[in-house]
Amino acid sequence: KNQVEQSPQSLIILEGKNCTLQCNYTVSPFSNLRWYKQDTGRGPVSLTIMTFSENTKSNGRYTATLDADTKQSSLHITASQLSDSASYICVVSAPGGYNKLIFGAGTRLAVHP
């Protein structure tokens, strides 16, 4: 069964600290993996996309890694800011038409001053 599991479920860190969010998936075959950021009261917004052949990709202070062999991805946030407080959702895409997407439940990150 295709599944995406994220950990931790929630996380509290102090402003300026780094953190890493995890995403494990059992989706096979695999097309790509995307991390979304969802601010409170807003819709999710894509942060990064990673395909099978990519190991790491950065978007500002966000760095995503992918290990397609172990089916694991991580999202590392450097020098966190208050505005990083949000839910981070891992979404894995299976090949095929019309976006066969499998969503994780998300990690809720709270950055405190």
Partner 1 sequence: DTAVSQTPKYLVTQMGNDKSIKCEQNLGHDTMYWYKQDSKKFLKIMFSYNNKELIINETVPNRFSPKSPDKAHLNLHINSLELGDSAVYFCASSRTGTGNTGELFFGEGSRLTVL
**Which residues contribute to the site for partner 1 (CB under 8 A)?**
31-32, 34, 36, 38, 41-46, 49, 87, 89, 91, 93, 97-99, 101, 103, 105-106, 108
Nearer to partner 1, 6 or 65 (CB): 6
Burial status of residue 45 (CB atoms within 10 A of its CB: 0-12, 13-18, 19 or more)? exposed
Q: Closest approach of Cβ 99 to partner 1, in Å?
A: 5
Q: Closest approach of Cβ 3 to partner 1, in Å?
A: 12
Nearer to partner 1, 3 or 18 (CB): 3
Q: How far apart are CA 23 and CA 63, in angstroms?
A: 13
Q: How far apart are CA 112 and CA 3, in angstroms?
A: 31
